[in-house]
Structure 1
Amino acid sequence: MSTGVRRRLGVEERRQQLIGVALELFSRRSPDEVSIDEIASAAGISRPLVYHYFPGKLSLYEAALKRASEDLAGRFAEPHEGPLGSRLLRVMRRFFDFVDEHGPGFAALMRGGPAVGSSATNALIDSVRQAAYEQILAHLDVAEAPVRLELVIRSWISLAESTALLWLDGRRIPRAELEIQLVHDFAALAAVSAAHDEEMSALLKRMVKDEPGDGPFADLAVRLLSLAG
């Protein structure tokens, strides 16, 4: 029979519990709107005990952001198998899963929140962008990107962030449409760059070489041809 005695958490266990509680609250509401008292109550501990583990809400926010950034960066990981268009679409679905799960926190981070502007926060945001950049390079089988390719990939990552923020503002466009549109956007950015550069032209040909007729890249071609007609 259980005695109902609660096991005392170790220091690191308690820190991880508080990070998880804070991340859950920040995911539902802007971090500016979440108080230390709420975090303490949700964790089942006193306010002073929260301060025992974290100097203040900013440090707890940064710790929660670090966990979230690792989660988000991991969503860009994808096996290097099958057509590129399908791989990118799966990545975009996982990206929007994250945005859906952490909407208010994601929006607060990108638009301005309690930790925005701090060196720690900026470093975490940059680490996610860099992880996404490196994943895309790996999918293209490129070890070192020429400058035009770097411009394409980094522009696309920024576009994905902006698109997610606009989607969160009322969700006026079905997310499935935006996921496929972002895959199309990547192909379009690459195609425009290829029109100006032979190296990008060769890369684009490799990108579409094995794309199936029912894949995202082929779908874009069909849509553009229908507009021309």
Structure 2
Amino acid sequence: MTIGVRRRMGVEERRQQLIGVALDLFSRRSPDEVSIDEIASAAGISRPLVYHYFPGKLSLYEAALQRASDDLAARFVEPRQGPLGARLLRVMGRYFDFVDEHGPGFSALMRGGPAVGSSTTNALVDSVRQAAYVQILSHLGVTDPPARLELVVRSWISLAESTALIWLDGRRIPRAELEVQLVHDFAALMAVSAAYDEEMGALLRRVIEAEPADGHFGDLVGRLVGLAG
């Protein structure tokens, strides 16, 4: 009979394990509701040992948030191939995958949690938004965005956040419909801005010319024409 021997973890390996355990718990319930005792139990170690690696729940929360923010930012990365509408839809699919997997934690981060107001938390949230902003500009092929385009992209990122939060409260609208709607929202924001700015108009025309007739942007036009009729 062979008796299993528990392997001793190194310092960094143990830290990463605790971050993973904490992130899993924070993803299923609001961080305010998760105790250090629960984290220790889930990790199979004592409460004092958790404090050996992290001075408190706030520091562990921020470490878990760093991992989550890196994950969320990476979901905006998409090869610049194919029409923009299809690319944005794939991005939104991965974005809502994250929201679905980390609902309570995502909600706590955006609405208020144990680290609200801390410089670390604010910086992490801003880093995700900035990563998303840079990726969208990359999809548009723009390196020096005019003021109206910056307004459109940043407004759309905020809209995606608020849409995800509302969806989490009961999930009353099918997720797939919201993902398509957000792609349409991006096109609509660009169209409104283009009505006031020729540079935005030229960019919108370039985007539309690259879209197939049966693509997501064309679908929006069809729906609007149907309403007018």
TM-score, scaled relative to structure 2: 0.99
Q: Deviations over 1:68-97 (max 9, x none)?
A: 000000000000000000000000000000
Give the aligned partner of residue 73 of structure 2: 73
Structure 1 residue 88 and structure 2 residue 94: aligned?
no
Structure 1 Cα separation of the partners of residues 2 and 121 of structure 2: 43
Structure 2 Cα separation of the partners of residues 9 and 20 of structure 1: 14
Q: How far apart are 1:135 and its partner, in Å?
A: 0.1
Structure 1 Cα separation of the partners of residues 213 and 34 of structure 2: 49
Q: State how 1:1-229 maps to structure 2 within 5 Å.
A: 2-229=2-229
For structure 2, the residue ranges without an aligned partner over 5 or more in a row are none
Structure 2 Cα separation of the partners of residues 2 and 128 of structure 1: 48
Structure 2 Cα separation of the partners of residues 206 and 54 of structure 1: 51
Q: How far apart are 1:48 and its partner, in Å?
A: 0.2
Structure 2 Cα separation of the partners of residues 62 and 197 of structure 1: 42
Q: Deviations over 1:112-170 (max 9, x none)?
A: 00001100000000000000000000000001110000000000000000000000000
Q: Which letter does structure 1 place at the counterpart of 2:174?
A: P
Q: Deviations over 1:26-45 (max 9, x none)?
A: 00000000000000000000
Distance 1:2-1:12 versus aligned 2 partners, 3 A rule: farther
Percent identity between the two aligned chains: 82
Structure 2 Cα separation of the partners of residues 139 and 124 of structure 1: 23
Runs of 4+ in 1 over 3 A off after TM superposition: none
Q: Deviations over 1:48-85 (max 9, x none)?
A: 00000000000000000000000000000000000000
Q: How far apart are 1:3 and its partner, in Å?
A: 3.0
Structure 2 Cα separation of the partners of residues 215 and 27 of structure 1: 34
Structure 2 Cα separation of the partners of residues 17 and 208 of structure 1: 47
Distance 1:212-1:13 versus aligned 2 partners, 3 A rule: same
What SS does the aligned partner of 1:213 have? Answer: coil
Q: Deviations over 1:173-221 (max 9, x none)?
A: 0000000000000000000000000000000001111111221101000
What SS does the aligned partner of 1:7 have? Answer: coil
TM-score, scaled relative to structure 1: 0.99
Structure 1 Cα separation of the partners of residues 87 and 190 of structure 2: 16
Q: Which letter does structure 1 place at the counterpart of 2:203?
A: L
Structure 2 Cα separation of the partners of residues 151 and 205 of structure 1: 18
Q: Which letter does structure 1 place at the counterpart of 2:54?
A: F
Structure 1 Cα separation of the partners of residues 85 and 206 of structure 2: 12
Q: How far apart are 1:2 and its partner, in Å?
A: 4.5
Structure 2 Cα separation of the partners of residues 30 and 112 of structure 1: 10
Structure 1 Cα separation of the partners of residues 156 and 105 of structure 2: 22
For structure 1, the residue ranges without an aligned partner over 5 or more in a row are none
Distance 1:225-1:15 versus aligned 2 partners, 3 A rule: same
